Structure 1
Amino acid sequence: MAKFAVLFLLLNQRVDFNTGHYQLPKPEGTETKHNSSSVFDLSRKRFQYTYTSLEEYSQHSLNFENSLKRHTFLNTQPNEATNSSARYGVNRFSHLSPQQFREVYLRTKAEVVSHYNASGLNRRSRVVRELPARFDWRDEGKVGPVQNQGACGSCWAFSLVGALESVRAKEGHPLEQLSVQQVLDCSYEDQGCEGGSTIRALTWLKKTQEKLVKKSDYPYKGVSGICHLFAKSHDGVSVNNYMTHDFSGEEDIMKQWLVDYGPLVATVDAVSWQDYLGGVIQHHCSSRNANHAVQITGYDTTGDVPYWIVRNSWGTSWGVEGYVHIRIGGNLCGIADTVAAVSV
């Protein structure tokens, strides 16, 4: 009987994870509406949803109702490893439609980079040593606290600044928070809160040798502003170099880069992350449709499902205290499409 229930859900709910548009069945009765309204009111208080009009409240209530149906759909998909599979449910984004979520939070510009195979090395020469079954730069004290970008499409800046902080700490310096706002305001080929490219921002940092100052000197505001310039004598961190590749089909090499060079900057398809609560994402993600930027801090291959440990910039109330786990292999969510390692 359960199999028929799942089949019914699959036949009556269709999701296009490339565009972020969901086609859901219509409400089946007033009881469902009343239940979803009660849950919405509780969630509104918990996550502090705010409204400027009754119309906005009604629209968000409808979005929330559709989110509950979407969660049911996502959680009833077949899983290869039930105990570790991803869980989807109510969170701080449940009052937004998929389109609204994408327009605010998924603003990274995708870049095409050379595939790692272009090096011409054979596989045996590429893998130079055995790696630990689990590795996480947080365990080494080289990763700062999870940040919250707010309603600004600045993930591209948060991901690369976080990597610079970690790599600098890896080189023996204190772990200090650097200014995301400086990158947001000053990376002239990007569009601030309207979106940007991790690769273009890294190119700008290397070309100009702009020094990133401390967060306390140039605090985050969550809106794009005028670039504030500092004297050349001002303390700061500059990018010495960076390397970027497409590692699709070569995620074992990605692990080696992570251990050797420090946390990595990656772009991903995060459409389905709107509803993520925890566990290992093994489905519902496409490759070649990057719209978000993150920092890969580690990996874990000790369980049934190996996964990447990924630091996001949506605050600690989202996901696994601000992190998401993505299955290693198959380029899930496009995690291997555009990966960068930096040096300072």
Structure 2
Amino acid sequence: MSTVMKFLIVPLVLIALTSHLCESFELERKDFESEKSLMQLYKRWSSHHRISRNANEMHKRFKVFKDNAKHVFKKNHMGRSLKLQLNQFADMSDDEFSSIHGSNITYYKNLHAKTGHVGGFMYEHAKEIPSSIDWRKKGAVNAIKNQGGCGSCWAFAAVAAVESIHQIKTNELVSLSEQEVVDCDYRDGGCRGGHYNSAFEFMMENGGITVEDNYPYYEGDGYCRRRGGYNERVKIDGYENVPRNNEHALMKAVAHQPVAVAIASSGSDFRFYGQGMFTEQDFCGYNIDHTVVVVGYGSDEEDGDYWIIRNQYGTQWGMNGYMKMQRGARNPQGVCGMAMQPAYPVKY
């Protein structure tokens, strides 16, 4: 076989596989005609996501899956840009999802509210704010990561924000260690929860944070340990809070660097987000239990003003790990409360 033919065949195979996977999850009315068709859908979903359940567990989870599938199908036929998808969380209840992936953000925020390193708001008088910005296009955002079954979102948000400001200041994008923060920041609760502000404090007091290769993520709590290459550390000089419940102030900050925000995330609409605009009419829960990073903002004709949200559920969630969230909500707290606790690291 010629080399040219080999190069032609590989893309064709990939296209065929991709088409098949997409076809498997194009929900149709016929999928809901009977218990048998729904079970076939459940089995296709399990195979696609490589999720194995024993017969007893599958029986218990099937009802949850059915309810979630019906919700996704209904939401996707409302004529809006928002589309949900049966992602890897589709046979989990809201409570189960929250217990595994949620983080006790508010508790740790209140516990460490009076800390000594937080500054003012350096962007308060910033002028000439661009109408749109996407820090991914500027090379300041790493590839999407996955926190897995650990409530370590707070560490991921802190690390992502530090990775970005380090790139903006040095033109060097490095992947840093969430696991070091999870294991060694004793003021926070590891997989039980934490807050990015105290993670910033930890980095300042411990000579920065090491690169991910020195201290890889393993999706759990562990003993704090230093692994070689101690000098390969990225440092910050402080952190600041964005004024609460002020999306215009948040826009000023994001114009200069990605910003960590705390949100509510336990609702089905958020969990199954696939694409389009997530707005204040969509349900994301009642409690602040998750943290993400705002990596940009913009506007388009279809949906209007939006934020670009970087999550850490892997690339199977959302638009390859990202979400488009409404900017300029009627409620000053913002969609899912995202304007309530924004903060960013400072690096001179």
- Output the amino acid matched with 1:292: H
Cα deviation, 1:120-157, whole Å, max 9, x if unaligned, reads 9xxxx956423222201011111100001111111111
How many residues in Structure 1 have an aligned counterpart in Structure 2?
Answer: 298
- Output the amino acid matched with 2:342: V
CA-atom RMSD in angstroms: 2.5
Asked whether the equivalents of residues 242 and 253 of structure 2 are also in contact (C-alpha less than 8 Å), the reply is: no
- Output the amino acid matched with 2:265: A
Which position in structure 1 is the counterpart of 2:157?
A: 159
The one of 45, 48, 53 equivalent to 1:46 is: 48
Which position in structure 2 is the counterpart of 1:18?
A: none
C-alpha separation in 2, matches of 1:274 and 1:194: 19
Which position in structure 2 is the counterpart of 1:34?
A: 36
Which position in structure 2 is the counterpart of 1:20?
A: none
TM-score, normalization: structure 2?
Answer: 0.79
Q: Secondary structure at the match of 2:262?
A: strand
Match status 1:98 vs 2:101: no
Asked whether the equivalents of residues 108 and 156 of structure 1 are also in contact (C-alpha less than 8 Å), the reply is: no
C-alpha separation in 1, matches of 2:229 and 2:176: 17
- Give the CA deviation at 1:49: 1.1
Asked whether the equivalents of residues 288 and 337 of structure 1 are also in contact (C-alpha less than 8 Å), the reply is: no
Which position in structure 1 is the counterpart of 2:315?
A: 316
Cα deviation, 1:283-304, whole Å, max 9, x if unaligned, reads 2246872110101100012434
Which position in structure 2 is the counterpart of 1:336?
A: 339
Unaligned runs of 5+ in 1: 1-29
C-alpha separation in 2, matches of 1:159 and 1:126: 23
The one of 212, 226, 229 equivalent to 2:226 is: 229
Q: Secondary structure at the match of 2:255?
A: helix
- Output the amino acid matched with 2:225: H
1:281–1:256 distance in 2 versus 1, CA, 3 Å:
same
The one of 184, 187, 198 equivalent to 1:186 is: 184
Q: What is the aligned-residue identity percentage? A: 26
* Equivalences for residues 88-237 of structure 1 within 5 A: 88-110=84-106, 111=109, 126=124, 128-206=126-204, 208-229=205-226, 234-237=231-234
- Give the CA deviation at 1:333: 0.8
Unaligned runs of 5+ in 2: 1-31, 115-119
* Equivalences for residues 222-301 of structure 1 within 5 A: 222-229=219-226, 234-248=231-245, 250-260=246-256, 262-272=257-267, 273-282=270-279, 283-285=281-283, 289-301=287-299
Relative contact order (C-alpha < 8 Å, sep 6+): which is higher? 1
Asked whether the equivalents of residues 36 and 65 of structure 1 are also in contact (C-alpha less than 8 Å), the reply is: yes
1:34–1:286 distance in 2 versus 1, CA, 3 Å:
closer
C-alpha separation in 2, matches of 1:230 and 1:216: 9
- Give the CA deviation at 1:62: 1.7
C-alpha separation in 1, matches of 2:242 and 2:129: 20
